[in-house]
Chain A
């Protein structure tokens, strides 16, 4: 693609291009990649237990500490499971919305949907999280709604489920999951809608023309061609959940998440190497996720 659209740059033009590209490249190269490298470096240092000072020497002690303490493993597994669950739910909820926006809505309805999807992002993140705590509280709107429809029994039974349940939605993993899905849904809908919009109508017609029923066309043509969008959206939902520390500390059960651990270790605990090691975990997990997505052919249609 680049070869076809690209053209060679010469002389003055190349100079201006370099001038334009220098600031963003410096920003990405030094400020971003530099910090990332420092972070990685920090994780290979360790803290002196006695003096609480960082010893600037290469050691795997911090990683040993990260991966051998059962409490740390719990935190990683808990965060990972939540990220996977949120990503799957966001994909399932987003797909019909994105499909409708991209293929069936008229221009006005489509614009309305885009605004509707993006509007929540104009509101402060913190305001939304605290609003959700109120919505999900024991006497909140959510339980009132369940009561109105006579579903209080179902809600109670769901909250009785071990691990994910709790005394109220606001203090259970179910509630936290709901808030995560709500928060990241736009990041799934938008790339998915963009991918679906790029599928030419003639491909769907060709599929039907060759004898495919609508369900077959969906499985064989729409879904594979939407995969790059699904992959892009899931990278957002997956990595945002892995790194978030505000939602788990405001809504849900008291168990720690990776983000909270990073926040606490570099702040109150002052163990910068362990905070850095925890911060490396999401990077590794996303790397593994991308490799898996590539293996499954998510980027083949690009």
Chain B
């Protein structure tokens, strides 16, 4: 089997994979980083969203070998160095931006991607950027609120809590 090497959350990792191994399978099964979820396995839901070389991608729709030599970030690499929640995770917690939590890793990775290029996104820009992330619990309202709060914006016009 071919070998694959990458940097995941700042650490060098390597392994042997079948050519057909998906990136999400390598991350979950080989690296045991199970925070990246598989919701649909058909590129719709975004629970597997991670960053590869700084770009948001769906890890269920990319081969592990395509990420060879790349830098990968997953939800496990998002917390602060002391283990506390980072500002996005904290905002999701504070504003009830999750219920069952299954979509949350993807939501946090998509948010981190958005805020990298747009530090003060509007509600519309947030909703547009989350187009590929499906949540079946929250109705999205509090997710949007959490992201507005994470970017230091007023959330008083978002009614529901």
A and B are interacting partners: no
Interface residues of B (CB under 8 A from A): none
